[in-house]
């Protein structure tokens, strides 16, 4: 749950700040997504390299990716629905 809250919070800061400085939607939406991304792919690679494939750290980072995907898709849907606010 904390990861989900963090992702939504950081997205809202980046997306809202982009709107506040009047950036176009095609810059604001990716800025929010990049800001909210937790770069789990890198975390998985580092955990496997450091601790091996059987470690709890590798499992935890893999589960993190499974959590991030639906959250990020929700944010994409939100951004697309609010695109008109940028016109």
Question: What average pLDDT values come out for the chain (87 residues) when binned by 10 residues?
Answer: 86 94 93 84 82 84 78 92 87
Domain locations along the chain = 2-86
Token pair of 20 as six digits: 């506040």
pTM for the model: 0.75
Q: Which residue blocks in the chain are alpha helix, DSSP H? A: 2-20, 25-36, 40-51, 56-81
As to burial, measured by CB atoms within 10 angstroms (0-12 exposed, 13-18 middle, 19+ buried), residue 47 is: buried
As to burial, measured by CB atoms within 10 angstroms (0-12 exposed, 13-18 middle, 19+ buried), residue 81 is: exposed
pLDDT for the residue numbered 40: 72
3-state class (DSSP) for residue 38: coil
């Amino acid at each position: 749950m904390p990861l989900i809250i963090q992702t939504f919070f950081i997205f809202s800061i980046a997306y809202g700040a982009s709107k506040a400085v009047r950036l176009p939607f095609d810059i604001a939406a990716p800025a929010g997504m990049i800001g909210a991304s937790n770069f789990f792919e890198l975390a998985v690679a580092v955990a496997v390299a450091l601790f091996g494939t059987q470690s709890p750290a590798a499992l935890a980072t893999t589960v993190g990716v499974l959590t991030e995907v639906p959250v990020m898709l929700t944010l994409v849907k939100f951004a697309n629905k609010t695109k008109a606010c940028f016109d």
